[in-house]
Amino acid sequence: MGEKRKENAAVISQEKLAEGIYSMWIRTEASKSAKPGQFISVYTNDGSKLLPRPISICEIDKEEGKLRIVYRVTGRNTGTEQFSRLGEGDTVPVVGPLGNGFPIKEARGKKVFLMGGGIGVPPILELAKQMDCEKKQIVAGYRDMHTFLREEFEENGEVYISTEDGSAGVKGNVLDAVRMHELEADIIYACGPTPMLRAIKAYAEEKNIVCYVSLEERMACGIGACLGCVCKTKKKDHHSNVHNSRICKDGPVFLATEVEL
């Protein structure tokens, strides 16, 4: 069925970007075909946690055969905490690349918003690097002053920042930054928590512009087999014949008008 195999990826480096936020480069075959907006399933080494953790691809280096992920440790004894303890010389089981990724060609000649919120910020970096458009406006929303990846965004477009506590950039969310700076776009690419995507979808409808959203729902198998990640969509799933889509397989990127948020 062309299913992707699990692979033991070598950890090249791991770095702490901010409190609880880590960046890891791994050497993996998944880098060869990876696209912005796709993700990898990352497994823990000790087998105590059977299910993988879906983590977005933050950067792709095809020549060196490596991928970067940037992730938040969600708590003690979690899978993400185990990943944060890995370092050079360790290996980590991964499967990927998974999911559909962002349709980037649609941005040609257009004014674009690349919007990331919270842990939806990392996939925006590779998207920004590969995007060929008329005006690249990266709008990144954070909780607080720990605006990880900001310098790298600045090398790849115009950058606007929002923080929930107002400690950097505009106080509020990414749409507050858009309004404050009076920004405009013809197309939106967004990744972040559901309330943020819901607000962006409404904004895109109001402005009548095309909007792609990458959903970060809970997942289990990550390969389309368990239906643990379905969302309501307009299109019928040919698998189950209902108005549902599996985020891991049919997504995580959808046209905002196609999904119920």
Full DSSP string of 146-166: --TTHHHHHTSSEEEEEETTS
The 10 Å Cβ neighbour count of residue 160 is 21
| CB neighbour list of residue 179: distance below 8 Å, 6 or more residues apart | none
Which entry of ligand FES, ligand FAD, none binds 216, CB below 5 to 8 A by partner kind? ligand FAD
**Residue 64 exposed, middle or buried by CB count within 10 Å (0-12, 13-18, 19+):** exposed
* Residue 183 or 220 having the CB closest to ligand FAD: 220
* Distance set, CA 181 to CA 161, 169, 226 (Å): 10, 11, 43
Answer yes or no whether residue 53 interacts with ligand FES by CB under 6 A: no
How many residues touch ligand FAD (CB under 6 A)?
19
Near ligand FES in 93-122, by CB under 6 A: none
Prior bond of 195 cis (ω within 30°): no
Near ligand FAD by CB under 6 A: residue from 45, 78, 100, 130: 78
Taking residues 206 to 245 in sequence order and writing x for each that binds ligand FES by CB under 6 A, - otherwise, the string is -------------xxxx-xxxxxx----------------
Answer yes or no whether residue 26 interacts with ligand FAD by CB under 6 A: no
Full DSSP string of 15-50: EEEETTEEEEEEE-GGGGT--TT-EEEE--SSSSS-
* Residue 112 or 219 having the CB closest to ligand FES: 219
Cα separation, 123 vs 121, in Å, equals 6
Which entry of ligand FES, ligand FAD, none binds 39, CB below 5 to 8 A by partner kind? ligand FAD
Residue nearest ligand FAD, Cβ-based: 79
Q: Which residues here bind ligand FES, judged by CB under 6 A?
A: 219-222, 224-229, 246, 248
Q: Which residues here bind ligand FAD, judged by CB under 6 A?
A: 39, 51, 53-56, 71-72, 74, 78-80, 119, 122, 216-219, 252
